[in-house]
Amino acid sequence: MANKRALTVRSTRFYNGLTNWLRSPVHLIGLAALLFLAYTIAWPVMKILYTTFLWRQQDVRLTGEANPGHFTLYHWTRVLASDMSMNLFYKPILNSLGVGFAVSALSMLIGCGLAWLVVRTNVPWKKTIAFLAVIPYLLPSWIISQAWLTFFKNGKIGGTPGIMEALLHVSPPDWLSYGFVPIVVSLSIHDSVFFFLIVGAALSSMNSQLEEAASVTGAARWTILRRIVFPLVLPSILSGFILIFTKAISSYGVPALLGTPVNFYMISTMLYSSMRSRLTTEANVLSLTLMIISMLTIYLNQRVVGRRKSFVTVTGKDSARTLTSLGRWRYPAAGTAAVVMILISVVPLLVLLFQSFMLKEGVYSLSNFTTHYWWGGSDPDINTGEKGVLHNDIFMLALKNSLYIAGVASVIAAVIGLVLGYVVARGRQSWIGRMVDQVSFLPYLIPGISLAAIYISMFAKPTLIIPALYGTITLLILITVVKELPFTVKAGSASMMQIGKELEEAAQISGASWFTRFRRILLPLNQKSLMSAFLLVFIGAMKEMELIILLITPRTETLTTITFYYAEKGYEQLTNVILMIIIAIVITVYFLAVKFGKADLTQGIGGQ
């Protein structure tokens, strides 16, 4: 009897404990998020991990010992401890880590500098600078590396001499022309906008009373920056750091172009090689090593951020935001920033635009001007009769699909990112928050092709409640959302971390449900971060290639698949036309977002 009672008490207590635990929105949403992540990310990663411990039929090619279907450590030994390891793994991984850290550091410098200038100072032309900062990300990263080669290449890779060599008659050394340095610079130029937006959002939601208080007590400007501003935006900086680090070590196009001439291989280029040579398991092992490395960095990040008490800068109290005056440096600073950014973003853009109107590449005369590549009919002398882009039969369909996928995916991705970011930020002391943080970070490191291939198997047949999605646009949207989670969740959590709990608590006391709180308080306060997430995912989705190419069916052609076709045939101008159209669309979306979404990246949240 007493026994039974004790049991009842215990089970009641357990039941109460559970309901209490579940009553917390962080836990409930966290569980739902984990379920989603488990199916869309963890499960594919498990599948990849599983294959690395099995012999496959293909492995008979590598060794006679292969026994298809049975357990083996061969693949891991081959990569980590064989006579191949040095060139297959250790040298590439050192290169990857080096590039990863250098790109993150350089992007931090560029991104934070710009963000501070635009958000916290009285520099003029803010909107222009903020807009220019996004443009390098609009360009495909290989265009930036191509531009680098045009300037700095030396005789090693032949062809027409580089501009530097032609003007100065000095041959640039190999280290300047190829390998580490140009890869780091190209990737930093391309990706530092992530830093700019994440840190910019954090800076702008920071209450300047903190700075003023310090100023009143006599702290120097540098001290304020170091002791107040920096610690407060630390979570954002760390987020940006990890994000850029991961993007850099997983990038393929730039290292392939700039690294190959000097035998500079990274894990990503090796991985691509394994993939193309159909040594799939080797590719899987390599991608898992990248995942392990980034999970370690995230763990370290959680240790750093988790220990700190609060980064809250948005509280219930409103206050005016005062800007740091640059004094007589106002115009020089703005001028330098604008000129540099025009050089690295607007110039390549204009070159591409001109090229799309040139009949023959590189011939600068009026007679060479043509609109053929835009809306010309079929002319057997040009591109073996290929019509202009606007006359391409599937252009309208592809444009519609691209817009639809990018539009829907970026809205969903931004909101999911914010919700998961909420879980990460509020639950950063609990396992749920950390899990969501870790798992949501993997998609950047799963090679797009592997992820897409696994998604075909997962979504070709209806399973449980999920219908067969393969061949539908929904699957393309889903994979785009998943692939961008690392960024959206990071942006979301960095921004959520600054919003005080008491705002929510106040609403909760007055009886607002979680949904109302989210819609009425969190959404508006995170609007800026939300908009930048939306914008960057939109750009990414418009440019996306490798992820989509496997999942596409003729019905779901997108702009990038047309680009793929043109590029393969060597129709450079036509490729440029598509690129210009994509860029024009993104710029339009940007201005619409600024105008109607109030996504002004230069204004604060607390102030006005």
Partner 1 sequence: MLNRFPKKKPALVLLTAVSAMTIMSACGADNSSNTLSNAVPTDPPASTDTNANASTAPAADASSAPAAESVDDLYAKAKEDGKLIVYSTSGRANDAAETFMKQYPGIKVEVSKVKSDEMMDKVSKEQDAGQFNPDVIITKEVSGAVEEEMVMTGRYLKYLPEDIAPMVDEPYRTQAEAYANYVEFRTLFYNKSTYAEAPVTNWWDLTTPEFKGKVYTADPLSSPAFMDLFTTMVINSDDMAAAYKEKFGKDIVLNGTDNAGYEFIQELFDNGLIVLKGSDDVLDAIGKAKSDALGLAVSGDVSKNEEKGWTIAPIYDIKPKTSVPDSGYFFIANKAPHEAAAKLFIRWMMGEKEGTGEGLAPFNEVGSWVPRSDVKTKNDISFESLNLWLFDGDALYKTAPKVRDFWIKQK
Residues in contact with partner 1 by CB under 8 A are 57-58, 60-62, 83-84, 87-88, 91, 156-161, 256-257, 260-261, 263, 265, 269-270, 272-273, 275-279, 360-362, 383-385, 449, 453, 456-457, 460-461, 470-471, 549-550, 552-555, 561, 564-565, 568-570
Complex with partner 1: residue 11 or 277, whichever CB lies closer: 277
3-state secondary structure of 12: helix
Complex with partner 1: residue 98 or 261, whichever CB lies closer: 261
CA end-to-end span of the chain: 68
| One-letter amino acid for residue 39 of the chain | Y
Strand partners, 499: 314
What the block records as the tokens of 288 is 């898992």
Q: Is 485 within 8 Å of 498 (Cβ atoms)?
A: no
Complex with partner 1: residue 156 or 308, whichever CB lies closer: 156
Reading phi first (left if > 0) and then psi (alpha if -120 to 50, else beta), residue 278 is in: left
Considering the complex, what minimum distance in angstroms separates the CB of residue 66 from partner 1? Answer: 11
Strand partners, 358: 369
Distance between alpha carbon 459 and the CA centroid of its chain, in Å? 25
Complex with partner 1: residue 121 or 260, whichever CB lies closer: 260
> Could you give the CA distance from residue 591 to residue 83 in angstroms, rounded to a whole number?
55
Q: What are phi and psi of 510, to 5 degrees?
A: -80, 15
Considering the complex, what minimum distance in angstroms separates the CB of residue 342 from partner 1? Answer: 28
Considering the complex, what minimum distance in angstroms separates the CB of residue 275 from partner 1? Answer: 7
> Could you give the CA distance from residue 289 to residue 257 in angstroms, rounded to a whole number?
23
| One-letter amino acid for residue 199 of the chain | V
Complex with partner 1: residue 285 or 449, whichever CB lies closer: 449
Considering the complex, what minimum distance in angstroms separates the CB of residue 499 from partner 1? Answer: 43
Q: Is 557 within 8 Å of 394 (Cβ atoms)?
A: yes
> Could you give the CA distance from residue 230 to residue 223 in angstroms, rounded to a whole number?
10
Considering the complex, what minimum distance in angstroms separates the CB of residue 354 from partner 1? Answer: 17
Distance between alpha carbon 323 and the CA centroid of its chain, in Å? 30
Complex with partner 1: residue 85 or 430, whichever CB lies closer: 85
Considering the complex, what minimum distance in angstroms separates the CB of residue 396 from partner 1? Answer: 15
Could you tell me which of 564, 529, 416 has the C-alpha nearest to residue 480?
416
Complex with partner 1: residue 119 or 548, whichever CB lies closer: 548
Q: Is 127 within 8 Å of 341 (Cβ atoms)?
A: no
Q: Is 266 within 8 Å of 249 (Cβ atoms)?
A: yes
Considering the complex, what minimum distance in angstroms separates the CB of residue 160 from partner 1? Answer: 5
Could you tell me which of 361, 349, 338 has the C-alpha nearest to residue 139?
349
Complex with partner 1: residue 120 or 483, whichever CB lies closer: 483
Q: Is 342 within 8 Å of 133 (Cβ atoms)?
A: no
> Could you give the CA distance from residue 298 to residue 434 in angstroms, rounded to a whole number?
9
Considering the complex, what minimum distance in angstroms separates the CB of residue 417 from partner 1? Answer: 29
Considering the complex, what minimum distance in angstroms separates the CB of residue 270 from partner 1? Answer: 8
Complex with partner 1: residue 263 or 588, whichever CB lies closer: 263
Considering the complex, what minimum distance in angstroms separates the CB of residue 352 from partner 1? Answer: 17
Complex with partner 1: residue 241 or 566, whichever CB lies closer: 566
